[in-house]
Structure 1
Amino acid sequence: MRRTLPLLAAFCLGAGLATAVAQKSKDSTIVDPDVHQVVLENEHIRVLEARAAPGYKSPMHSHPPLVLVGIGSARLKFTTPDGQTQIFDIRPGTVLWRDQPIEHAWELLAGNLHVVAVEVKSAQPAKAN
């Protein structure tokens, strides 16, 4: 029993670190640094600016809950890990809130992508009014 507890603790710690490394490796600024640039970061938020030209394909990456603000006009095709796709239009002034983490890849079908994303590190799901 005395040997089992330290081994279990070591396994859990290792699994936690492996999960953290795997999640960090899907960070948009790591897998797609030419497009996703950190503008500001503190203990509460991280602000990203993303820019891309038509035809650009961003690899699979993840974001925590975020607010997205459209600066330019673009049409994107989002693909989730299970292969589902969705076409999405962003226009200047588009503001979206996503209260759950997301993992996706995207392809810029038209326009020039220019968005600002505010990732909220301690976000809670939105409440109905």
Structure 2
Amino acid sequence: MAQDPVQTNPENYRVAFENDRVRVLEYTDRPGYTSIEHHHPDSVMITASAFRRRLHAQGTSIDVDLPAGVARWLPAQDHCGENTGTTDTHTFFVELKETAPASTEVPAYLGPVAL
């Protein structure tokens, strides 16, 4: 399992809030930046800016293009990402600390999911 993004990418992630049930991370980067692989638990991602990124995990890549002001579910995953757009990325992750319900099914997707 990859490490905590605050440890692997401290110049980009900061803890904005934390208690015993959730942790909120703020993330920023500039065009062309590529993060070091890291882990996200089940989270809700809230975009503060529009951005375009390419996420990489286990030999798979996906392009993500999101407007500002949307919320997306982000299932637990290890990945690295690169800002492939022309604007800075600014987003928040509300990480859940509760254990996910038991499941034998592996998610078939990478990146944020619109439900």
TM-score normalised over the length of structure 1: 0.73
- For 1:36-58, what per-residue CA distance to the aligned partner results, in whole angstroms no more than 9, with x for missing partners? 11001111000000010100110
Question: How many percent identity over aligned positions?
Answer: 29
Q: Alignment RMSD, CA only?
A: 1.4
Q: CA deviation at 1:123?
A: 5.1
Unaligned segments of structure 2, at least 5 residues = 102-115
Q: Take 2:55 and 2:66, find their aligned partners in 1: how far apart are those partners?
A: 12
Letter paired with 1:40:
F
Residue 47 of structure 2 is aligned to residue 74 of structure 1:
no
Letter paired with 1:56:
Y
Q: Which residue of structure 2 aligns with residue 64 of structure 1? A: 41
Q: Which residue of structure 2 aligns with residue 29 of structure 1? A: 6
More helix by share: 1
Letter paired with 1:85:
S
Tell me the secondary structure at the aligned position of residue 84 of structure 2. Answer: strand
Q: Which residue of structure 2 aligns with residue 86 of structure 1? A: 62
Q: Take 1:60 and 1:70, find their aligned partners in 2: how far apart are those partners?
A: 20
Which has the larger Rg?
A: 1
Unaligned segments of structure 1, at least 5 residues = 1-22
Q: Take 2:47 and 2:65, find their aligned partners in 1: how far apart are those partners?
A: 10
Q: Take 2:59 and 2:43, find their aligned partners in 1: how far apart are those partners?
A: 22
Q: Across the two proteins, how many residue pairs are aligned to each other?
A: 100
Runs of 4+ in 1 over 6 A off after TM superposition: none
Q: Which residue of structure 2 aligns with residue 106 of structure 1? A: 81
Residue 96 of structure 2 is aligned to residue 120 of structure 1:
yes
